[in-house]
Amino acid sequence: MADRLTELAHDAEEAAVPDFDAVVTRARAHRRRQRAGIALAAVVVVVGGGLAAATLPRHAESVPPVTNHQSPMPPSPAQTREGRIRLALDKGTTRLVVATDPGHVLIVREYCPRSHHCWWGSEITGVPGSLRPASQVRQGPVSAGSTGFLDGFHARFLGLDGTSRAIDAGPRIPLAKVGRPSPDAVFEMADDGGFTVYEPEHHRWWSYGLPVTAPPIQHLLLTDAGTIWTEQDDGMRPAVISSSDDGGRTWTHHPLPREKSTQFGTLLWHAGTVGVPVYGRDGVLRSIQVLDGDRWTGVRPDGPLAGLTGKLSLVEGEPNIAGLTDGGLFVRDNDFRVWQAAPDSWTRWSVVSRTAPILALTGSRDVLLGVGDDHHTAFRWTGVSWRELG
């Protein structure tokens, strides 16, 4: 396999090299378009602002202050308030945008190759302009992972030199071993096979060791009752879902049948058991399997889910299906519609809105937040309970 790829690359390298003047011409064209675009943008902002004021639903007026700077979006469902926020970032290149649960946004901006500025902001209240610099990280590290929690976020940065450092919004306490996860905790996987739990109530961090497994653990889920769920797969063998009630000391394995083992998006929590979205090798959603006792069964194929199946693809690894903190579910289909399902039944779906392409999504009981793939625009839906829409 590797030889064939290398051969393909080498053959491509034999193609004629275009004259450098073609690149120069292209660069000049970019500069001309950029200058024209700046002039046009000034007109669009003025005109677009007027259009937005005329077309936004009345209840959206209470969403403070919203700037509609892109093309108009299709109408939203009547009960959903929707707003867009122009993030107060206008320089540099966005390196990473993470919408973290439960409603925080972490944005890492690259100002120049030799220094990185990290910005973060809370979006629970939806106050635009609340983003502020959290710290400056030098020597070119990039984020290796982040976790949001109620009063801030924790982000790990990994440098090419192997060094890592973390920034967070609250006090950070050295890791300690404990025997059982605490409810109301946030966790993240570590590269060494363990995972880390943050306990917001006490601002404590805990470290858990997990067995080194083959296939590797790809996803983790920690329930309020303290049960750890893991998903192991390598794309070849049937995936294994395992659970532990005692902090990782003993495990019960729940292998998925081979015909249900293709690709997996994440682990979901539903009605007291675990759920797994199953994708085909083509990256298209086939079903959502839930563990019923010791059997895996598909979510009932009636209702809108039947219409969704086959329309959800794993697009460039972007999150398009995720569990909400209350057990509900939201997904974004290939047409960039955002759907949500009530916590008690994943067979009752409602279209929340149709959006522009979204880079990242997160949500809580009554707030859904997305970050547009222009890396500048945040989308927010507030003022309605997910349950009311179910």
Report the alpha-carbon angle 71-72-78, nearest 5: 155
Cα–Cα dist 238/255, whole Å? 7
Shortest Cβ distance from residue 335 to another protein (Å)? 7
- Minimum CB distance to another protein, residue 85 (Å): 22
Cα angle, residue 65 at apex, residues 62 and 71 outer, rounded to 5°: 105
Residue 215 preceded by cis peptide, ω within 30: yes
Nearest residue (CB) to another protein, 47 versus 315: 315
Nearer to another protein by Cβ, of 234 and 388: the residue is: 234
Question: Alpha-carbon distance 278 to 289, whole Å?
Answer: 7
> CA–CA separation, 367 vs 382, rounded Å?
5
145 versus 226: smaller Cβ distance to another protein:
145
Q: What is the nearest approach in angstroms of another protein to the Cβ of residue 1?
A: 6
Instruction: Report the nearest approach of another protein to the CB of residue 295 (Å).
Output: 26
In sequence order, what are the residues at sequence separation of 6 or more whose Cβ sits closer than 8 angstroms to the Cβ of residue 13? none
Rounded to a whole number of angstroms, the minimum distance from the CB of residue 142 to another protein is 5
Cis before residue 102, ω within 30 degrees of 0?
yes
CB 377 within 8 A of CB 89: no
User: What DSSP string runs through 275-303?
Assistant: EEEEE-TTSBEEEEEEEETTEEEEPPS-T
18 or 293: CB nearest another protein? 18
β partners of residue 107: 97, 119
Comparison of 140 and 170: residue with beta carbon closer to another protein: 140
Name the residues that contact another protein, by CB under 8 A. 1-2, 4-6, 8-15, 17-18, 20, 22-24, 26-27, 30-31, 95-96, 108, 112-114, 140-145, 158-160, 162, 189, 191, 214-218, 234-236, 263, 281-283, 314-317, 334-335, 357, 373
Residue among 56 and 101 whose Cβ is closer to another protein: 101
State the minimum distance, in angstroms, from the CB of residue 365 to another protein.
27
> Of 242, 184, 189, 197, nearest to 215 (Cα)?
242
Contacts of 22 (CB under 8 A, 6+ apart): none
Between 30 and 300, CB nearer to another protein: 30
* Shortest Cβ 203–another protein spacing (Å): 24
CB of 317 to another protein, least distance (A): 4
Q: What is the three-class DSSP state of 358? A: strand
Using the minimum distance from each CB to another protein, give the nearer residue, 126 or 265. 265
Residue 22 to residue 5: CA distance in whole angstroms = 28
Neighbouring residues of 66: CB distance < 8 A, sequence distance ≥ 6: 52, 56, 60, 83, 84, 85, 128
